[in-house]
Structure 1
């Protein structure tokens, strides 16, 4: 395949031009690199290389100005803004930066297109006057300030540009305008210099003026890369700008238009492939490259062009390992490297001026991959120790001193991370810089294995040095929130460049890097509406109609630019794979691009259209089954000997796998920090409070005065147990305060219920509180001892009847403690787990002879106190109203049969632990 660059060099060489004396101007630096590489294929003798410049470099040389980054422009512009705006009406730098970005873009466009500045700014001001009824006498302060802003636009522009020019600095548009101003002098001083402009398409007014003047003075030659198909079709946007240049430039009235080629109509293999989601596209690209390698496709002439540059990382992770040479033209975004998340977390932590920090933010920082090694001293993992202490003590908002006490060491790293920045920009930047140096010192200990991480640290050190410079020179940053905004602005524009041989191997690039370059095989991703082309967007203060009147570019021209790049990639290629996302997405479209439809409607090439779905294997969900091996059987016997509790048995009924994990393997749920008091903590506090209240009354009859006396102790006792269970968690505000009050209300309401019963004539005697039970059950089929154990919340005697009472802070209804068929009690957890529990308590106490049958057993639900004591009862049928609430020997015997069956199932080596479907 003959590339456009090669054709240009060959033409120049054939016409007797000395290439070493030419100044080549191209749309990008990358194109210049390829031009330099192809010189050797045209020049057969040793020669000096010509001067090769990008258009930006050439214009900077003309203007004698230095372009400055966008962030620094904002600082310079804010100085102008403050100078021209009254202090009481001026925005903070943070607010200013949100709208100033748009205004700077408008300044840029106005200058690049050589629009008379005063005219357009006065025009914009007049439009706003009309919109806001300027003839009205009674304007609000808001409208006055708004109109004042528009009236000052020209002053802002004039002062800002003067300020920059005095420093020999400029934004792109200003550089272009100055280049045009200096053009005449440049022509006079370089009358023998020959310029060749290669591969341009959409030109702004400044570029058009510069190129046309050089052409008219016989100092330049220009080569266009377009095709007869595009030029002959007046509706084809791929040649929108070239047709305009051919028609409007006086130079082409007498000189040839180089070139209108005829490459697009040649045979091509074009495939349009629809794939769901971005990751699907990345994976398919990897798969496609693997196939191309097997077919011996020349990867040196293959390009993967990413329509959406966010696909860079997924595509890199999807490339086949067999690809040896790879050149990536896009830098790795600095915001995507792990160190960026550390500083994001730090800024988030310190944005609020506080000495205590949210525990999740603290854990995020100390568990970070760059911080954790710094907290590993003499083989002790202090990070784990801090995290464990936070969780065990329920510390929701620890401070620096509390964190340092956790590890009993004076670690400076904790001072760097958690000392209050006190809203001081200097202190914040100093801390960040010291942290970077500390991380570097740690990485230097094992330099060879940390080379990439050291590169990360180096780039962040540069970034914070730049922040420090900007702050010291301009002093516009007044708080941490603004500093964070500037940091993110700088971070978003920084990249970590890949090293590689730029002229060898597979080329991975963005759409703009493909300018002027040609490849035999092209893979283009994300060819969706809203991406290629970008579609309508109006990020400007200049209305659409004003743009049209002043011949400023609108979305129509921007779409035409994308059209040119898209067709330029296809123009000389032999194999083209156009990939688009089939999944509709509100933010990034989902509809295939109009470019694909246009290719189909042209009818020049046959488009192989495919919809590809990832090969997702069918995975049949199998219930987890644990075989009862000899080892496991021994563990079951050991557990049986230690004793089954009612809750562990009901856990088995609910799901045998959970029983296996918790009771056999002893796996406990991880105790996270309770930001809000958990239900089990509330239950424990209420249980322990009632235990403290009623233990002194064991073997005594209750009297109203004793219960009333307890009410005065509620606050003190509940507080004591919250401090014991909730540790250092805060119960003085928010939801926790509400839960604390609920706990007191539960206890108070229970005591009221007790007083009501006593006043009604009930005689209540406390027999036991938190009674421990531990019995051995004789099961002849099992040749090892079986024990059942558990604590009963309360055993009392009410009017001569013994009652076993279980407290529940959750809501329980009477039907939760009723049973019809005994065999259901060990199979249906939802309906009968409460009945199973209270009957197990009754069974244990009956076996220990601590109670005499008949008795009653049941639940007191604190969320259903109005129902009182909810007694277990046996019903003849589901619809029967008669129920027997007395637990007799028959009841115990029937329950014992079911209990033994359940234990036999648990201990049976032939019955595996099988997961139940939830």
Structure 2
């Protein structure tokens, strides 16, 4: 249903949807399930920190915590133990909702009776809904959840013979199954011109135009897949409904809506899923009637549209349509996105225009996973040094913390077992790499520099063809010493000094050579991009702006952006104009409707 609704044209602004949305997929249902699962994993040491992290990352928790959210999250990530108590997490913060969410235990730390736990869940839903939900649909979700839980409380209170083990894990399974079969209706006006409905809802109704989707064999009708323990022969003998009865019902619904519509469209797919790649028998019947001179003669037309998808590898060129051009003008460009365009315009289109990213295969440790784990760990370890002179006493060099951040990053990328095989080896390698870098960083920076900012974002814009194009770049840290600031980027891969040298002071980067050797100028471009944004930011107006890369594989080296003579590059007004020309040139190419995205030849 959701793909259909999202695919409707903008002109269909008033829609009535008669089908319900699965309750299990709503945010409030997921909030409750996470809450109960957190309690099911609790032991004598406390709550498992990852379960608590999942819970406080929900929109309901964040809205309640407000400015305390980052403090609570930081305590979870920087703790020495994997298990935490309620007081550890919400130190100095009191909330009625979190009291209901966490306090399910008596003085002996035994779980309260189930009916009291259910009342606490209901109270937490009511409190969360009173602040966090403003739209009618979200309010309906909360009401539906409360009704289900209240019904269960009533059963437990009135039926003494019902024995349910006082166990959070069992409660999670029970509530999840109760929610699973429920749906929440969309609110709307049945008199709207545009209706999205199921076959059953269409009975006894007449429409000007009707489009029936998925008219494929196995879907409409469902075929012989009849879920029953009673064999088909026995069902027929005893007069019970069979798959033939189901097919007859679908046939009635289909032809009923067909004859009550002035225009009727039946949409089917071929060549897709092997189970549903054949047109329905209903369409074959219509075509047969049209051929033999029946009521459909001269009134049926077939239109075929090929939507066969090509793989990214096979696509050589993509034309820029009006919709694509609109999207390109709305994009906020980063150095990574522009480097991606220079490497392969087709991949840039998929990753940044369509937002289709290549995911890591399960158990595959990619460079992005290592990079994320490294950045997260360094941010937490350096947090106390932010805005002050770097002091080694403020660095949290905890092996437990580093391992925790790496394991979390791996888990987010489908790698859950980090205790054996390649994931374990990579975890140990990354841990050593981070520890070596931090030790070297302490020696280099202690009492010498000020960490102006950590893991922040620079924003700006540039004018291209009379229109403003937004830019942004995420830096890893900004150092300050005297009147100089240095914008720094961490790299978990290899960095060479030759990659951070500008050999042509006049042009900075040779675009033609860059296209021939896509990775040659990538690091230089990224640092110049940061310099451009900082130079045009008022808070750095009186500062000398320099740029550098820290390679975690070479922790003792600082890779400053320099000219061929090894003189540091200082981003000034002259450099600003030169880099702006490069930036506008690349964006002009991207925003040129007559220049399709063409696949770049791979560098040998």
Name the TM-score, length of structure 2 as normaliser: 0.52
1:328-348 Cα offsets, whole Å, 9 max, x none, are 654554445442232233234
| Counterpart residue number, 1:313 | none
1:565 to 1:748, Cα distance in 2 relative to 1, 3 A: closer
Higher Rg of the two aligned structures: 1
117, 131, 136: which one aligns with 1:428? 117
| Counterpart residue number, 2:302 | 609
1:722 has 2:392 as partner:
no
Task: State whether residues 370 and 492 of structure 2, in contact with CA within 8 Å, keep that contact through their aligned partners in structure 1.
Answer: no
With 736-745 and 545-554 compared, the bigger mean Cα shift is at 736-745
| Counterpart residue number, 1:412 | 96
1:205-261 Cα offsets, whole Å, 9 max, x none, are xxxxxxxxxxxxxxxxxxxxxxxxxxxxxxxxxxxxxxxxxxxxxxxxxxxxxxxxx
Q: Secondary structure at the match of 1:610?
A: coil
Task: State whether residues 582 and 591 of structure 1, in contact with CA within 8 Å, keep that contact through their aligned partners in structure 2.
Answer: yes
Task: State whether residues 581 and 592 of structure 1, in contact with CA within 8 Å, keep that contact through their aligned partners in structure 2.
Answer: yes
| Counterpart residue number, 1:914 | 583
Shift of 1:533: 1.3
| Counterpart residue number, 2:286 | 599
With 538-547 and 903-912 compared, the bigger mean Cα shift is at 903-912
- Give distance in 1, aligned partners of 2:126 and 2:327: 51
1:900 to 1:430, Cα distance in 2 relative to 1, 3 A: closer
1:562 has 2:272 as partner:
no
Which structure: greater helix fraction?
A: 1
* Alignment of structure 1 residues 571-650 onto 2, 5 Å: 571-580=259-268, 584-585=272-273, 589=276, 591-603=278-290, 604=294, 605=296, 606-611=299-304, 617-619=323-325
1:471 to 1:429, Cα distance in 2 relative to 1, 3 A: same
1:806-865 Cα offsets, whole Å, 9 max, x none, are x998657xxx5679x983897589669999xxxxxxxxxxxxxxxxxxxxxxxx999799
Task: State whether residues 214 and 220 of structure 2, in contact with CA within 8 Å, keep that contact through their aligned partners in structure 1.
Answer: yes
Shift of 1:462: 1.4
* Alignment of structure 1 residues 655-734 onto 2, 5 Å: 678=374, 722-723=397-398, 726=401
1:547 to 1:411, Cα distance in 2 relative to 1, 3 A: same
459, 466, 491: which one aligns with 2:151? 466
Task: State whether residues 523 and 576 of structure 1, in contact with CA within 8 Å, keep that contact through their aligned partners in structure 2.
Answer: yes
1:456-483 Cα offsets, whole Å, 9 max, x none, are 4333221101122344535354343443
Q: Secondary structure at the match of 1:574?
A: strand
Shift of 1:566: 0.9
Shift of 1:439: 3.8
- Give distance in 2, aligned partners of 1:511 and 1:535: 16
1:895 to 1:773, Cα distance in 2 relative to 1, 3 A: farther
- Give distance in 2, aligned partners of 1:375 and 1:900: 44
1:401-440 Cα offsets, whole Å, 9 max, x none, are 21111xx133232222234576663453132122134346
- Give distance in 2, aligned partners of 1:625 and 1:905: 27
Task: State whether residues 418 and 427 of structure 2, in contact with CA within 8 Å, keep that contact through their aligned partners in structure 1.
Answer: no
1:592 to 1:904, Cα distance in 2 relative to 1, 3 A: same
- Give distance in 2, aligned partners of 1:748 and 1:492: 46
1:13-33 Cα offsets, whole Å, 9 max, x none, are xxxxxxxxxxxxxxxxxxxxx
Q: Secondary structure at the match of 1:489?
A: helix
Shift of 1:281: 4.4
Q: Secondary structure at the match of 1:535?
A: coil
* Alignment of structure 1 residues 444-843 onto 2, 5 Å: 454-472=139-157, 473=159, 475=162, 477-478=164-165, 479-497=167-185, 508-517=196-205, 521-580=209-268, 584-585=272-273, 589=276, 591-603=278-290, 604=294, 605=296, 606-611=299-304, 617-619=323-325, 678=374, 722-723=397-398, 726=401, 816=496, 823=503
1:494 to 1:401, Cα distance in 2 relative to 1, 3 A: same
- Give distance in 2, aligned partners of 1:460 and 1:523: 34
- Give distance in 1, aligned partners of 2:519 and 2:152: 61
- Give distance in 1, aligned partners of 2:486 and 2:8: 62
| Counterpart residue number, 2:463 | none
Task: State whether residues 533 and 559 of structure 1, in contact with CA within 8 Å, keep that contact through their aligned partners in structure 2.
Answer: yes
Task: State whether residues 394 and 728 of structure 1, in contact with CA within 8 Å, keep that contact through their aligned partners in structure 2.
Answer: no
| Counterpart residue number, 2:312 | none
- Give distance in 2, aligned partners of 1:566 and 1:543: 28
| Counterpart residue number, 2:458 | none
12, 18, 33: which one aligns with 1:344? 33
- Give distance in 2, aligned partners of 1:390 and 1:596: 59
65, 68, 86: which one aligns with 1:400? 86
Q: Secondary structure at the match of 1:539?
A: coil
Task: State whether residues 330 and 510 of structure 1, in contact with CA within 8 Å, keep that contact through their aligned partners in structure 2.
Answer: yes
- Give distance in 1, aligned partners of 2:61 and 2:485: 47
How many pairs are equivalent? 434
* Alignment of structure 1 residues 111-260 onto 2, 5 Å: none
Shift of 1:383: 3.4
1:394 to 1:559, Cα distance in 2 relative to 1, 3 A: farther
1:526-563 Cα offsets, whole Å, 9 max, x none, are 32333211233242223344445555443333222211
Task: State whether residues 55 and 61 of structure 2, in contact with CA within 8 Å, keep that contact through their aligned partners in structure 1.
Answer: yes
1:527 to 1:348, Cα distance in 2 relative to 1, 3 A: farther
1:286 to 1:353, Cα distance in 2 relative to 1, 3 A: same
Name the TM-score, length of structure 1 as normaliser: 0.37
What RMSD over aligned residues (CA atoms) do the two structures have, in Å? Answer: 6.2
1:482 to 1:787, Cα distance in 2 relative to 1, 3 A: closer
565, 569, 577: which one aligns with 1:895? 565
- Give distance in 1, aligned partners of 2:502 and 2:104: 65
